[in-house]
Amino acid sequence: MLSLPLLLIGGLLVLAAVTYLLRTWDRAVALVAAALLGVTALALWFMDLSVPVQTLPLVGRSVGLLAPLERLGFAMQLQAATAPVLAACFALTAVAFALAARVSQGHTFVPIALVLLAGYTGVITMVSAPLPPLLMAPLFLVGLSCVSAFILQAGRLQHPAGPLRLIVPPVLAFPLFVLAAWYLDQAPLNPQDTSMQVAAAQLIMLGMVLLLAPVPLHGAQPAAMQSAPPVVAALVLLLYQFTVVNLFFRLQSDYLFLTAYAPLATWFSLAGAATAVWGGIAAAGTNQAGRLWGYAALHDWGLLIMVMGIPGLPTLPLALFLLNLRAISMMTTAAGLSVLEQHAGGLEPRRLQGAGTRLPWNSAAVLLGGLGLAGFPLSAGFTGHWAAIQVIAGVNWRPAVIVLLASGGAIFGYIRLARVLFGPLENRALVRERPLSAFVAVAALLLAVGLAVAPQLLDQPIARALLGFGS
């Protein structure tokens, strides 16, 4: 009988090897991989874990849904709390591959992304390790960040410093988690002394702050979004951020003393506010479309960090809501930017001048997706941002006002980009968008506007994820 983690990780690695051999036909390979991962994501989402053994269709092999995969002192096992996160990661990768089938993101994008997804699958499903598995996760994030640096480079002749900055946060965080594990091992020796738990809690939370990569550790995000192919940048950052947010809430669930012994609210509020404010200010000062997207995403990420640190409130539903809206906004922007980059030859203002007159739907996707990261009305992120600012203001109105004002910087940046896109056309040779390309952009726009008008469409997926966490 196969264990499900073995089937998933092994299947992804085999598929990565096959797609690497067929990398010359990158767009066709991306389309097939998108279909396979989409089916897998749906299977994971609707999987009934109360039936521990199921049979694979067509193959006839039995699969143990809850059977662990044990190798070298590590064990991976699917759990109710991790199944929705895993399904989301597979779905994100499937969407990215579908977009890569429309506009090539590099010959090695699909195989390396599959290896990356296999690694994140291992991290998310890890239940046993030489150290407590949740405290071991940053070590694997170091390795996955190294792989991410290769995929972000995408064969482009650009300086690799931006992608390599992804490695810094997990490298800084892992020693803190190792020290925390040592303190936790010492705590049972003297149950009356809470100093060991206090030290462990503070080290874990400080490590989490580093893993979240707030300002000043934010450099990889705007740099990667400026230099890497848009779909690649969106996928790499979202996979990392989904995993880190999942790690944070699992730590809170497994180590209940964290919020009591660590100044969670202070650290996360300061880190999140600094990140959101700098993202908004920097977005107002940049004119490169990719970097503008990166700073708008940084502003949105700072708001999410602030929500995660709010004390005394069930922040998990709101954090999941913001994370889902973030993924939709980023993929909408990536869909439009990839087409603009392909047609215009770059994302600098001189290349994009007037491009909206020839590529209207993809330009609209870029603008609406980016504005969603700033919480602009009638964008996907509006309801999430408004709810988050209200919750933050209920605790302290000052940071809420500061973040609201900072969002104006990102909005200003996109207004300026709109003037460039729909201004006078300079490149008369710019080709008009194809019907399929316009259809994908319109579908992304309809999804974004639909969630802005009816955010309750996400209620059921979020409720499904909350059941896994026992909330």
Nearest to 458 by CA among 327, 308, 300, 306: 327
CB contact at 8 A, 286 and 228: no
Give the per-residue pLDDT at 58: 61
CA–CA gap between residue 92 and residue 58 (Å, rounded): 26
CA–CA gap between residue 423 and residue 357 (Å, rounded): 8
CA–CA gap between residue 168 and residue 142 (Å, rounded): 8
Tokens at 446, concatenated: 């309809």
The angle subtended at Cα 87 by Cα 333 and Cα 271, nearest 5°, is 60
Burial 165-175 (b: 16+ CB within 10 A, else e): bbbbbbbbbbe
CA–CA gap between residue 218 and residue 142 (Å, rounded): 16
Burial 313-344 (b: 16+ CB within 10 A, else e): eebbbbbbbbbbbbbbbbbbbbbbbbbbbbbb
Q: How far is CA 323 from CA 40, 229, 367, in A?
A: 21, 22, 19
Give the per-residue pLDDT at 122: 94
Burial 374-396 (b: 16+ CB within 10 A, else e): bbbeebbbbbbbebbbebbeebe
Concatenating the DSSP letter of every residue in 203-241 gives HHHHHHHHHT--TTS-THHHHHHHHS-HHHHHHHHHHHH
The alpha-helical segments, DSSP class H, found in 256-288 are 258-261, 264-285
**Taking the CA of residue 16 as centre, how many other CA atoms within 13 Å lie in the half-sphere pointing to its CB?**
17
The alpha-helical segments, DSSP class H, found in 286-359 are 289-308, 315-344, 349-352
Nearest to 221 by CA among 268, 258, 169, 180: 169
CB contact at 8 A, 430 and 353: no
Give the per-residue pLDDT at 455: 86
Tell me the three state secondary structure of residue 277.
helix
Q: How far is CA 366 from CA 73, 369, 405, in A?
A: 46, 5, 22
User: pTM, whole model, 2 decimals?
Assistant: 0.94
The angle subtended at Cα 274 by Cα 271 and Cα 279, nearest 5°, is 125
Tell me the helix, strand and coil percentages in the chain, rounded to 5: 75, 5, 25
Tell me the three state secondary structure of residue 126.
strand
The alpha-helical segments, DSSP class H, found in 381-458 are 382-395, 397-421, 435-453
Give the per-residue pLDDT at 430: 82
Tell me the three state secondary structure of residue 311.
coil
CA–CA gap between residue 430 and residue 301 (Å, rounded): 35
The pLDDT profile of the chain, 471 residues, written as one tens digit per residue, is 788 889 899 999 999 999 999 988 888 999 999 999 999 999 999 888 777 777 777 666 777 788 888 888 889 998 888 889 999 999 999 999 999 998 888 888 999 999 999 999 999 999 988 889 999 999 999 999 999 988 887 666 566 667 788 899 999 999 999 999 999 988 888 878 888 999 999 999 999 999 999 999 988 899 889 888 999 999 999 999 999 999 999 998 888 888 888 888 899 999 999 999 999 999 999 989 999 999 999 999 999 999 998 876 568 889 999 999 999 999 999 999 999 998 888 888 889 998 889 999 999 999 999 999 999 988 889 999 999 999 999 888 899 999 999 999 999 999 999 999 998 888 877 888 888 889 999 999 999 999 888 888 888 888 887 776 654
CB contact at 8 A, 2 and 63: yes
Q: Burial, 240: exposed, middle or buried (Cβ in 10 Å; 0-12, 13-18, 19+)?
A: buried
Helix orientation angle between 315-344 and 83-102, rounded to the nearest 10 degrees: 10
CA–CA gap between residue 52 and residue 78 (Å, rounded): 11
